[in-house]
Structure 1
């Protein structure tokens, strides 16, 4: 393959990068970057060009064996960091997405499933399902989205009822756009247990193993980008799990989901930074080597404008992303964290789309062919970012809602 860009590697830090990070955080970034260069980078071609799920899973296993899936859980982590947390999971996400965003998606799903298991599961359930996810030998999935439910959980149709005769929970419902559907070993399922209560008061979360009778996977989706990801539908028909598989309290699922979404959005913000920075490096490399009209392309005023805008937006996105991560690690949670998490997600994912689009423009025809490097892949991959984990429009609602709490917006 001819490559129009000298380097598609992870972004080389500028003097301003990592402004909010400590020396220990920066050392961890270097550690992670080296590990991913050996464990993930060799798999990237199989993931992108062969849509190879086995390569994704191989990479996840390597990440788990390195202990990086335990970064969110200080009581389980045994690595080099003195105080591991979301900041470091976000660094991991950023560095992984710089190599392959589809791979990072599976990391995010694993952590999103591990979070409620670690925080809200009964001890025996936690010990059964959490270790495999954290060591990378098993895969987790989160089941929220439905045909009429995306950002608006109030319309959830999945129903969960308790059967006192057997001491079991029974699930009936249909979920779609579920990352790792059919390949995950453990599913965190959200459904309504109290029809009479408001949606935020009548939702419950359960742990459901894949082998449970009544689970089926009708369809896998094909996306414009994110090759290697497995995303599809999950149907629950009379699915029964033991009463102990309840996460937290009955009707307490919305609070669990809110906490999960907060850190999921921050981790995704890190992934968006990784995509934006890789695109930016491709653009700047090309602008400094391509000759047109007797000059380097980068000498053109309009190209300078695109480079300057990308650079400024990336720095802004980084600052707001790692501020949110540091706030989480300092103890901010729930509704208090919702606004900074939404701001990080909005800014970083829109930045990824902008940088990927402008990079294609800088490269011209080379930017829209697979034969000339990764620009077209980043363009396709980035487009999902302002949609998944809550749309940009939903992020704006959360931000403005926190600023004007007396008003109820017309969604």
Structure 2
């Protein structure tokens, strides 16, 4: 690791995080992957909360040694966790994505009730955006949110799917339309919904090819009622909240992809330097040089783009001004993770296909989700092109 854009304090933080994860996460990786043991996940979440790592994004609540904690450090945490187990990292990244709007947009009582337990590691959160007809394109959102003045409550009706931490989260950030203008950015609202709210249900969880141990499922709102003060920000202001949340999420996913890519690369290079074929180490063969070189420059590119985005955010740049850089970090990191996972399996041959000979096959399965979650690669390219073609309107 060269850490081109990180300073001495950042590197010291990385070393500290790595030690904690080796102590808390590494011994539980088999429980998470093989047995999908949620108690193992919760144990590590609590450990990270106790260490103060879930407060990195919120400087006034952070109590650790860093002078200026921020997204850069949260992304380092994401990278190091993903290096060991991307399924686990998904849980904490989702919790932080939930904490972000609570911190910035919730009323003080709601913030105290739901945010602080997430930051302490005693609770987790979830984000409810995706629907059967809505993924990266929020224009298809069908969830409706109405205000009942008689009871002073928000009433939510809708169905969300592919929700990380569904059924196990303690609080959900639900996005829906409070008025139908044909443009969701004008009528979208965000509401904090506790897991105990009447009318919230969890029809089923999904079985994925990878990320075992990460719980993903469906959330249904059937006349779900929450108090008026659970509104985040302003009515009809949910799209702006979601935009800022996505910048945060995409930068974090840059760290996720980087961690997965590094993990695959280390397995591939170790194998190439010890496995002999036709009288030579694999690493002496030109075709293997090519694979290693392609992985190596992609990882360096990922690191530069990811930490450029986080450093920009930590300097005060956000919203549309960060959209392109966050999208680039997410795009390159997740494509690199898939490339490295695929090449690693190829270099390992049969060993790369079996659980008995290491983690290459797990990394291969885990990496595939990265180019889809948090906005597809195609959506990231659209966001980049929007900045680069400012004089015309592109898209649908």
**For 2:271 and 2:150, how far apart are their aligned partners in 1?**
68
Aligned 1:380-391 pairs, distance under 5 A: 380-391=365-376
- Verify: 1:405 aligned to 2:390, yes or no: yes
Q: Which residue of 1 aligns with 2:378?
A: 393
Q: Is 2:114 aligned against 1:125?
A: no
Task: Provide, for residues 193-227 of structure 1, a one-character-per-residue CA deviation record: whole Å limited to 9, x for no partner.
Answer: 01136210100000100011111111101111000
Question: Match of 1:45, SS?
Answer: helix
* Residue correspondences, number: 396
What SS class does the counterpart of residue 204 from structure 1 fall into? strand
Equivalent in 282, 293, 317 of residue 297 of structure 1: 282
* Shift in Å, 1:410: 3.6
Residues of 1 paired with 2:268 and 2:285: CA distance?
13
Correspondence 1:66 to 2:51? yes
Which of 297, 305, 329 lines up with 1:320 in the alignment?
Answer: 305
SS at match of 1:384: helix
TM-score by length of 1: 0.96
Q: 2:19 aligns with which of 31, 34, 52?
A: 34
Where relative contact order (Cα < 8 A, 6+ residues apart) is larger, the structure is 1
Q: Unaligned 5+ residue runs, structure 1?
A: 1-12
Q: Distance in 2 between matches of 1:349 and 1:288?
A: 26
> How many Å separate the matches in 2 of 1:110 and 1:305?
39
**Structure 1 match to 2:72:** 87
Instruction: Report SS of the residue matched to 1:276.
Output: helix
Gap regions ≥5 residues in structure 2: none
1:136 and 2:127 aligned? no
Equivalent-residue separation in structure 2 for 1:408 and 1:359 (angstroms): 41
Alignment deviations for residues 355-397 of structure 1 (CA, whole Å, 9 cap, x no partner): 0000000000000100000000000000000000000000000
For residues 20-75 of structure 1, give each alpha carbon's deviation from its aligned partner in whole angstroms, at most 9, with x where no partner exists.
00100000000100111101111101001111111111111111111100000000
Per-residue deviation, residues 292-339 of structure 1 (Å, max 9, x unmatched): 001101111000000000001000010000000000000001011110
> Is 1:372–2:345 an aligned residue pair?
no
> Equivalent residue of 2:297, what SS?
helix
Aligned to 2:137: 152
Distance 1:230 1:408 in 2: 38
Match of 1:266 in 2: 251
Residue matched to 1:97: 82
Match of 1:208 in 2: 193
User: Does residue 178 in structure 1 map to residue 126 in structure 2?
Assistant: no
- Cα displacement (A) at 1:138: 0.6
> Equivalents in 2 of 1:157, 1:46: separation in Å?
38
List structure 1 segments (4+ residues) > 6 angstroms apart after TM superposition. Answer: none
The residue that corresponds to 1:229 in the other structure is 214
